[in-house]
Amino acid sequence: MTLSFVPGDSLAHRLDPRSKLLVQVAFAAVAYAYTTPRGLALLTLVAVGCLVAADGGPRDLWSYRVAFPVLLFAPLVAGATLGAPWFRVERAAVTGLASYRVLLLLVVAAAYVRSTPVRESRAAVQRTIPGRPGVFLGVGVALVFRFLPLLKRDLLTAREAVRARGGGALPVSERIRLVTVAGIDRAFGRADRLGTALNARCFAWNPTLPRLAFGRADAVALGVGFGLFAAALAAVL
């Protein structure tokens, strides 16, 4: 699975992107306000519900697999010590909860990416933040969502090319260097072609964006978003 929009007719697909952005921000606020196992267990239900509402599943999280080793080994590194007792369970537990919180945020993000076209994300940002700053952020969001899958594909292509040329026998550090250099070279090449394409198409700051409108289903999403914000505020106060 790639980190990109998947057409569909799920509940999340029918929501206004502004509602989904509100839910994401509110979920992040609650996740950092409630760090206990019980709080994260309840947030797990919310995160899974978001992914199911977008007709998603565990396969959609595969796009974030690069982060999984870090989230898995972070508690072990945090708990390890250079002397007796050699491992502190309390430190590992705190870091483990933090890693799980990040995983929940990735689940909600996967639901948003799967159910929201790039143009709608850009329109939501530009119509939420007024003036040139909103336009600048909207363009940035659009470019990030469009080019992350391409850059990821370039890295995979470079890795396969190294393997095909007998790179499997090289040290790990050398393989990483070759793939990284190839990936950066392709990224700069894509950036140059992007600049040329924008100039050729007379890039404008005020393009015609898709029309956004709140529907009945958005009432549920807005209620969830404001409810999560209220819960986060209650925890802080």
Q: What are the per-10-residue average pLDDT scores of the chain (237 residues)?
A: 77 92 91 88 93 88 81 87 84 89 90 87 80 71 68 78 80 81 80 71 65 87 91 83
- 10 Å CB burial of residue 147 (0-12, 13-18, 19+) is middle
State how far the Cα of 13 lies from the Cα of 15, in Å rounded to an integer: 6
State how far the Cα of 123 lies from the Cα of 138, in Å rounded to an integer: 7
Q: What is the pLDDT of residue 49?
A: 93
C-alpha pair distances (Å), 236 with each of 229, 230, 231: 11, 10, 9
Q: What is the pLDDT of residue 51?
A: 92
Q: What is the pLDDT of residue 137?
A: 73
28, containing H or E segment: helix 17-33
CB contact set of 116 (below 8 Å; sequence gap of 6+): 5, 17, 20
- 10 Å CB burial of residue 227 (0-12, 13-18, 19+) is middle
Q: Which two tokens stand for residue 38?
A: 């019980």
Backbone angles phi, psi at 87, to 5 degrees: -155, 125
